[in-house]
Chain A
Amino acid sequence: MARVLIRNLNKFYDKDVHAVQDVNLEIRDKEFLVLVGPSGCGKTTTLRMVAGLESITSGQVLIGDTVVNDLPPMDRDIAMVFQNYALYPHMSVHDNMAFGLKMRGMERAEIAKRVQEAADILGIGELLKRKPRQLSGGQRQRVALGRAIVRHPQVFLFDEPLSNLDAKLRVQMRVELKKLHRRLNTTAIYVTHDQVEAMTLGDRVVVMRGGLVQQVGEPLELYNAPVNRFVAGFLGSPAMNFAGVRVSDAGGGLRAQRNGLGIDIPPEVTPRLQRYRDNEVTLGIRPEDLQLANGSDAPGLCFDAVVEVVERLGAETVLDLQVGDQTMVAAVEPTVRAKPGDKLRIAMRPERLHFFDKSSEAAI
């Protein structure tokens, strides 16, 4: 059990590709930290530097209190689960799980005990004699997990472990991973490009882009208070709606306007937006924060829209709306009866509005 500390971590490939830029992270003891971002954002490279599979250009990685920069992977007391499972094809499930223990010269009896224990936790007791090619994708993933947990490492590293599974199995394994982490109570770093996995698994989530950490925080913190437009757009499905709006004076308050869309800026945000008066900002609103106006909404937060596409998902209905010259997505109650071409009056929830600087994209 240990804390992992990443200090000013940098990675250059061939001197000109700056894959990881000044990453500073503290992964607390027993914490499940998720690194998420689009492909090429540096999340996997960061993980591989913690694992020791990638050299560190500059900065430090500490596991526990030890600087591990120059330690080979085998001496870092970590276990890693790979996207393609990386099971040794020529060994049985049992030998796959026992390999790490054998390499460390553990006694036969202790190995047998640990393998059995891990197999019981994961429910793969009957598979121990099989070869990896005789297993289904989900079973292989379990074996890969088993191979990691028999080692009782200080830190678990996961590199997109669920991406090769089909959608249903992925959801199931996600829940099991969560349970497993609660049971094992070990520090874990998990890399994924799937924001749902990030939100559901992480005690805290790190959003990365272009080698830079964008934001670190608990899942809901990131969801409700994104620090910039990228984080806001990356988390949540369907993604947040963005609209460039012009801020102007309107009878004491401020008003944000663009073609076909005009809303009164709620008073609590007004002070922060004062300096953008007569300038453009980006307005962001999540699809679930757009609802049909029911008469009790403040008229300054309502606008008219034309329905273009209706997607009924059962639990909710997703409407693609034409608002002035741009499209917006609203996730409304499934009871809403709308069909393409309908004109609707939509209301925004004032406390859920986000504003971003047009050029820096930072939250205002």
Chain B
Amino acid sequence: MIEGARWRRWVYFYIPLAVFVFVLLFPFYWMMVTTVRPDNELYRPWMAPNYTPFWTLHPTLEHIKFLLGETLFSTWMLNTLLISIAATIISLFCGLLAGYALSRLKFPFAGGLGTGIFITYLVPQTLLFIPLADIIRSFKLGDTPWALILTYPTFLIPFCTWLLMGYFKAIPKELEECARIDGATRWRAMIYIIFPIAVPGILSAGIFAFTLSWNEFIYALVFLSSPAEKTVPVGVTSELIRGDVFFWGPLMAGALLGSIPVAMIYSFFVEYYVAGLTGSVKG
């Protein structure tokens, strides 16, 4: 905490914090206002005398009704949820094993392998989707959820592996050694000792993996084409923007509803993933 006169706290803490919070939350506020704003207000020119950009006096649910009734939004939500969960589980499982191996087992080229995995994470998706599209086509997976469930791990596994590797390294190796002397095999030491201690790390890796797959755009845009297979980010932008006509109300309603699951997950596990990111293991 900042010490000294009260004005110092205001200048160095409260005011910067308020600005920061405002900048971060304003887009959400804008999304909310636009969602409930009736069409006649939405398309009112800015010089009109009753122009009120920051609030509305006639809130309406018509955009949400339109989104849920007239579009495939609920299908997109379900698709996104399914794909994100599946991709997260696959990536977390592989990341756990790989992260453990790279941080604990001594084998030839372990260091090089770790770096190699990280480098694959650095290859931009905007380049990778071209060869991946070819692979997806050869396996005849295009336009199915599998196209995404199997391609998301290409960037999620390196990410999870690195995050968990760092976390495992922070766990004193004596804990595991002690468990192994106490009568546990390496597997059991891993399951009973290391994984429970690594829960914050595992949860934060899982949350990030989930968020990354939830928000993913390029692969979803390229690999899926029929409206019923789409995910929220692609579905909303491709079905609610027709040419140069933006259906701002439903668009923002989709963005708002689409961000709710992620926001909920974050708020549930906030303490865990803070601990996971700061990597603290208290003995």
Contacts and interface: CB of A to CB of B under 8 A. Distances in A.
Contact of A99 (B182, B197, B283): B182
B181 A79 contact: yes
Interface string B146-176: 0000000000000000000000000010110
Interface of B: prevailing SS: helix
B282 A73 contact: no
B177 interface: yes
Contacts, number: 72
B184 A103 contact: yes
Interface string A140-155: 0000000100010000
A133 interface: yes
B172 A104 contact: no
B81 to A, nearest CB: 30
B185 interface: yes
A78 B188 CA distance: 18
Contact of B179 (A88, A89, A133): A88
A355 interface: no
B184 A78 contact: no
A72 B185 contact: yes
Interface string A31-67: 0000000000000000000011100000000000000
Contacts of A133: 282-283
Nearest to B193: A88
Contact of A73 (B174, B175, B181): B181
Contacts of B281: 89
A88 B197 CA distance: 8
A89 B275 CA distance: 15
B109 to A, nearest CB: 15
Given A84-B172, A89-B282, A73 B197 contact: no
A84 B185 CA distance: 22
Interface residues of A, number: 27
Interface residues of B, number: 20
A53 B180 contact: yes
A22 B177 CA distance: 25
Contacts of A79: 181-182
A85 B282 CA distance: 12
Given A80-B178, A82-B174, A87 B185 contact: no
Nearest to B198: A90
A63 to B, nearest CB: 13
B116 interface: no
B261 interface: no
A74 interface: yes
Enumerate the 6 nearest inter-chain pairs by beta-carbon distance, A residue then B residue, closest first.
Answer: A100-B182, A103-B183, A86-B174, A86-B178, A82-B174, A73-B181
Interface of B: 172, 174-175, 177-185, 188, 192-193, 196-197, 281-283
Given A79-B181, A133-B282, 16 more contacts: A51-B177, A52-B180, A72-B185, A73-B177, A74-B183, A76-B181, A86-B178, A88-B197, A89-B282, A90-B196, A90-B197, A99-B182, A99-B192, A103-B179, A103-B184, A147-B182
